[in-house]
Amino acid sequence: MDFAGSLPSWPSGLSAAARTVWAKHDFDSEGWLPLWRHMADSAAVAERLWDEWVPDRVRQLVAAAVPGGAGDARRMAVWLAAVHDIGKATPSFACQVEGLADAMRRAGLEMRLQKQMPDRRLAPHGLAGQMLLQEWLVERHDWGKQATLQLSVIVGGHHGIAPTHADIAELARHRSLLRTRGSEEAWRGVQHELLDTAAAVCGVRDRIADWRTMALPQSTQVLLTGLVIVADWIASNPELFPYFPGERGSDPERIETAWRGLDLPRPWVAVEPEAGPDGIFATRFDLPAGASPRPVQEAAVTMAREMAAPGLMVIEAPMGEGKTEAALAVAEIFASRSGAGGCFVALPTMATGNAMFPRLLDWLNHLPDARVETGAHSVFLAHSKAALNERFTELMGAGRRALAGIASDGGGDHWAHRGDAHAASAELVAHHWLRGRKKGMLSSFTVGTIDQLLFAGLKSRHLALRHLALAGKVVVIDEAHAYDTYMNAYLDRVLEWLGAYGVPVVVLSATLPAARRRELVRVYAAGDSSSASAESDAVFDSVREAQGYPLITTVAPGAAPRIAVPGASGRATSVRLERLDDDVERLADRLELELDGGGCALVVRNTVRRVLETAAVLRKRFGDAQVTVAHARFLDLDRSDNDARLLAEFGPPGKAADRGGMRPDKRIVVASQVVEQSLDVDFDLLVSDLAPVDLLLQRMGRLHRHQRGLGQCERPPRLRAARCLITGVDWDAPVPQPVRGSRAVYRTYPLLCSLAVLEPYLSHTSATGSTVRLPDDISPLVQHAYGDQVVAPPKWAEAMAEARTAHETHQAEQRYKADAFLLNRQARPGRALVGWVEAGVGDVEDSRGGKAQVRDSRESVEVLVAQRRADGTLATVPWLSPDRDGHARGGLALPTDAAPGARLARIVAACGLRLPPEFSDPRTLDAAIAELEADCFPAWQTKEAHWLAGELILVLDENRRRRLAGYELHYSRSDGLEVHRVR
């Protein structure tokens, strides 16, 4: 019989002993829940999740792995949810509540007192349940013991970590924790009775025999584990499923009331657009009348439709060419063909994630499936400061219920409900149950930092949830060139698992080395056993050897890679390169000359120290109003305002005016790398410290980015030809020597490679001239700089060889460090997940420390900044801009003997600041933390001040200064944080 429709009620004929076994207990109310009822609740929730929430793609993956296809997949998922807590029917668990344990003893289930079982820690109920399910499958259904592991490990891992072989062996030596000696048969009878009942009710009793010989891929085991965890979390919530013994099973009214209260948004059901590329881009992205998609956008849509099945697409195209829009258009096609129920966009930083979030929302509001009548979609901003993003918090606030129900990952947040007048008209919701570091990624549409994707390759607790979240989405990876060897180790492993799940992936980059392109395609294809990569890596040689730019590479399941070279869009810029000595006064002289007739110049430095030193000199020459500073060492609110101001003043023509800005007649912006990526700004002149060539080209992408009049006639006459002055180098040394700060950030070898490929453009005697043509020269320069043999002047040979050896040693060290917690590759089908995350990192935290697990960076301190006024009172810093509603945020008094109100606390929380590298030294770090903790306000560490509890508060004096761990700190709205060692 096909298993469809609601689960039948659990039989009331359970034995008296089975009905006494408990699963949940509330010490305050003394309410409790029988195990059989929690089993019934969990099964009913899993049924609803499978039918109404799990994306088609996930259902397809499980169905393809089990003998009976879709019917067996559904049965198996619901049954595993039903039996996941069978380990609670053991003395090691039941002894914890003496009153309930005593009732079980009276029913014949003898057990010792809790204090008499000091070894009960060896039998956590997940592992105990795994052992009981194994035994039941062997004794009742004639399974081989090894074969049982691929299902029983899902029960064993439902609390986030699959048991190890050592765990299993240790519990096997302590059988009395599963059944009390002298009462074994009574315990066995109840355990098997509950398992028999679950098998009958879930419709698997007659199917188990056919499952004996199946070999579940590990990817399928992971997805089932993730689904069981979600079902358990929902069924364990007493607001949804009240605690009371009762005699009826999970009747329709109980589950219907709970499911209606939860109100989980359904997954996206994408419908492939019938229109061609012109129609897609016109309707999804509001192209101006008469405008057409660019060739790379059109080619991406065409190739997506021509692929045999959705797979991996790598889009390489110049900066400002519309790669993001191309990726979203492809995502719609991939989702419609694969059954993906959402999309995740991964970006390098929180700032780029914040910038992308409204663009994703705008796209969603243009999708046919995002209309109100089809129901709301869940959206999530995935980084540690998402709750401070005003656009995201607006979505979170829509339809907030008064019921303080579903606790997020350890919190007590209210959930969103679309039942009131405001929420009923909303198409997109930030559902409150789908929040927190473990559940947020389960939302259908997510924008986040690349860390959120890399965490899927990190051995950590509840990793199955992250895999479940990704397996049902299309994944877009932006700025793929921006990651080092350490991060790429995690990215490669994640791509391999995504390939195993058949997750469609779109990778974007303007400056991707050919070797890296090949590796991305190879590792993704390696996850699919049907792929050509299973036979030979040689099939991917064409990917590395491909010529042309823009370039699109695809690989579909079971197929060899395909390459396309779209036509050029016609957008081109010729950038003349010049050397400039590393002397700030000389820089000021040159800018004075170049900006004599007005104009906007961008000066990019590789360290914040150089940014501030440069700005100080330029302000003396040009005045404070003419020099703007941008770097990462600003308060979060200030940095957000800085980005908005840059876009308003230097953004695309027309759009800048829409933001209330006007392009200055003359301005110098001195910035760090924050202007390199995902910031659509346009300058007349560029001065840049030497950087690896791909990043230097990214910076050039901010030069003459937009057309300003015919032939750039709206720019000052002297600046109508684009020029980039390269500095930060001792040009007079026998081998040009990058400055110390640049070497510390990028290492010497990539900088020398950059110099080597740029030498023909910088040499006054070069026959090739001094002009870099964008986009034509982007790919050749990148490929030469990252090729096996970089051609450099002969006199550089010794320095290049020495730098290369040091660089390769560093890369090897990064790979070795990454291996410590790197998830294993998927094993052969049938191999159980036992020990899957053994020796992992525990819980992953979306914090600076958590990110350090997937980035090769030293831990630093993040503080929240407030100011002590002259009268001794505390306040928010005075210069903060008003919020979106016009309410003031700066200069507000803060209580120190009580918890600040919610709004005040949020303002302080939005004034986060990461202390610079000087504080990463362990001794300095410890000293700084100790000094900051000594200044804490106890009232701010309470539950009422949850925005501030556990945070370090940096209190500046009335002059915005503070001494900390031997350093003098000074903060200004114009320059951000300055740090000097106290002498």
869: tokens are 């006024």
Query: How many Cβ atoms are within 10 Å of 585's Cβ, its own excluded?
Result: 12
Find, among 516, 565, 513, 520, the residue nearest to 313 by Cα: 520
Where do the domains of the chain lie? 18-262, 295-385+441-564, 573-774, 858-981
Say which DSSP state 398 is in: T
842: tokens are 């525990």
Cα dist from 530 to 503, 533, 713, 750, 933, whole Å: 15, 8, 56, 37, 56
> Residues with Cβ < 8 Å from 92, sequence gap 6 or more?
117, 120, 123, 125, 128, 177, 178
Q: What is the pLDDT of residues 661-683, one digit of tens each?
A: 689 999 999 999 999 877 889 99
Q: What are the two backbone dihedrals, phi and then psi, of residue 124, each rounded to the nearest 5 degrees? A: -55, 150
Class of domain 295-385+441-564: alpha beta
Say which DSSP state 822 is in: B
Helix ranges, 252-400 (H): 252-262, 277-285, 295-306, 323-338, 350-364, 390-397
* CA separation for the pair 553, 313 (Å, rounded): 6
Residue 413's pLDDT is what? 30
Query: How many Cβ atoms are within 10 Å of 780's Cβ, its own excluded?
Result: 13
> Residues with Cβ < 8 Å from 566, sequence gap 6 or more?
295, 296, 298, 299, 317, 550, 552
Of the chain, the end-to-end C-alpha distance in Å amounts to 82
666: tokens are 């003359």
* CA separation for the pair 503, 825 (Å, rounded): 16
User: What are 918-921's contacts with CB under 8 Å, separation 24+?
Assistant: 918/967, 918/979, 918/981, 919/860, 919/861, 919/964, 919/965, 919/967, 920/858, 920/859, 920/860
CB 331 within 8 Å of CB 476: yes
* CA separation for the pair 629, 611 (Å, rounded): 7
The fold of 18-262 is: Hypothetical protein af1432 (1.10.3210)
* Residue ranges of E strands in 404-444: 428-429
DSSP three-state, residue 290 = coil
Cα radius of gyration (the chain): 30
Residue 961's pLDDT is what? 97
Cα dist from 494 to 98, 157, 522, 831, 854, whole Å: 46, 21, 13, 19, 12
CB 466 within 8 Å of CB 498: no
- Partnered with residue 505 across adjacent β-strands are 312, 475
| Residue with token string 């070898």 | 749
* CA separation for the pair 556, 564 (Å, rounded): 14
CB 177 within 8 Å of CB 123: yes
| Residue with token string 């940014």 | 611
| Segments in the chain below pLDDT 70 | 1-9, 245-250, 369-375, 397-432, 529-536, 655-661, 764-769, 845-852, 858-859
DSSP three-state, residue 762 = helix
295-385+441-564 matches 18-262 in CATH topology: no
Q: What is the pLDDT of residues 253-267, one digit of tens each?
A: 899 999 999 989 999
Burial of 565 (0-12, 13-18, 19+ CB in 10 A): middle
Q: Which CATH architecture best describes the domain 573-774?
A: 3-Layer(aba) Sandwich (3.40)
